[in-house]
Amino acid sequence: MSDASPMDVSSWSAARPAPMPLRQLLPPLLLWLVLALLPVGRIAELPLLAGAGWGVLLLFRDARALWRLPGVRLALGLFACYWLPSLLSAFDAVAPEKTWTQVAAHMRYAPFAVFAVATMRDAAQWQWLLRASALLLGLWIVDAWLQAFTGASLGGRMDGDRLSGIFGADNLKLGGVVATLSPLLLAFLQQRLGWRGVFIGAVVAAGVILLAGARAAWLVYALVLAGVCLRPFAGRARRALVMLAALLAAAAALGYAAYLSSPLFAARVDRTLLLVSSEADDVDHALAGRLPIWRTARDMALAHPFNGVGVRGFRHDYLQHAAADDPWREQQGALHPHQLVLEVATETGLPGLVGWLFGVALLWRGVRRVTPAARLRAWPPLLALAAMCFPLNTHYAFHSSWWGLFFWWVLVAVLVALHADRARAVPESG
């Protein structure tokens, strides 16, 4: 098959960006720094707060002008869908101090999103962010492979047979992050090296995701691979299926090699296969003991339908709804529901579910209203967001500080890509 040129309609991104002045480079650099510092810990808050402060200054400077920007209106609408149910959940939360603290902390996402959308309206800025993010993810993948062969990485030594990479053995999010961000890397490779580059990059990333051991990330990556093949080859189903089959075959070969060489990886695969069992105990084992958590979450949501138990209150109300034989009682309950829909239902109730549904509709409307070129440009982060939030999967806690920040980074990347269609950014503050 012939490789698509960067300017072909099957390409996801525009051509290589021209050099930018420093003032134009600073916004995408701040956004990139949030991602780059995520493995380090709370220090990622520094560029986030800098961007949020920038956004506040822009709002004070000329809020009316900002409101006229479709991207800003969409960003604030999506924030309202996310934050207002959290606010409502705080008034009678089971752990009010924790909930109110989290609700207040979530407020920083609004000015940060405004800052990003208002100051990154040049396609060259999006291109810089795409390239820098792809190279960063590539570095994390190389580091993870070094850990696979040597046992050590920039994040420390490996604990057991699960790759932790740059995130460290006490923060096993490597698989989920790499799987979620992989569309950015594959878009960059497609633009630079064509579909042969996509194939090689997808296989190399697949190895890391498999060895990281997070089975939810396996499903996220399978969705990404399907999107990678089907979207650019729209109207050419045979080529799409050939590409997808080749990628899945290569991933399966890697998985088989890992199955033979790693007893712990083999055990995780064997456990996953129990999902097709007719025995509830086998299914619960396949789901790492999450069935009792989900039953408790169901009962908790039914007991608090109007505004939930409060953001991050799940763990504090768990024992009130858990069955007498719930194995999680020994650990004083589960930390979170491990499932996005249940997390929203239990912690924010019906307003949260309605808010997320309305947010999906709002984003869909925003995607439909931009130009075809903008939709094409935004396809990689949109695919990342869709795979990350796929409801028929297990999830990290979207209301938590770490994963919540990562979720908002991906969402802001979508908003920037959709609206980065101007020759220049709006004037910066100061």
Residue-wise pLDDT for 211-222, tens only, equals 888 889 999 999
Residue 7's pLDDT is what? 35
367-394 pLDDT, tens digit each:
999 999 999 999 999 999 999 999 999 9
The three-state DSSP-derived secondary structure of the chain is CCCCCCCCCCCCCCCCCCCCCHHHHHHHHHHHHHHHCHHHCHHHHHHHHHHHHHHHHHHHHHHHHHHCCHHHHHHHHHHHHHHHHHHHHHCCCCCHHHHHHHHHHHCCHHHHHHHHHHHCCEHHHHHHHHHHHHHHHHHHHHHHHHHHHHCEECCEECECCECCHHHCCCCCCHHHHHHHHHHHHHHHHHHHHHHHHHHHHHHHHHHHHHHHCCHHHHHHHHHHHHHHHHCCCCCCHHHHHHHHHHHHHHHHHHHHHHHHHCHHHHHHHHHHHHHHCCCHHHHHHHCCCCHHHHHHHHHHHHHCCCCCCCCCCHHHHHHHHCCCCCHHHHHCCCCCCCCHHHHHHHHHHHHHHHHHHHHHHHHHHHHHHCCHHHHHHHHHHHHHHHHHCCCCCCCCCCCCHHHHHHHHHHHHHHHHHHHCCECCCCCCCC
pLDDT tens-place string over residues 253-284: 877 787 777 777 777 777 777 766 666 666 66
Report CA Rg, the chain.
Answer: 22
The confidence score (pLDDT) of residue 18 equals 57
Mean pLDDT of all residues in 396-417? 95
Q: Which of 94-103, 139-148, 287-296 has the lowest mean pLDDT?
A: 287-296
Ordered by start, the domain boundaries in the chain are 22-419
Whether the model pTM is above 0.85: yes
Q: How many CB atoms lie within 10 A of CB 401?
A: 16
Going by pLDDT thresholds of 50, 70 and 90, the confidence category of residue 9 is very low
- The more confident residue out of 172 and 134 is 134
pLDDT tens digits, one per residue of 179-231 = 999 999 999 998 888 888 888 999 999 999 988 888 899 999 999 998 887 76
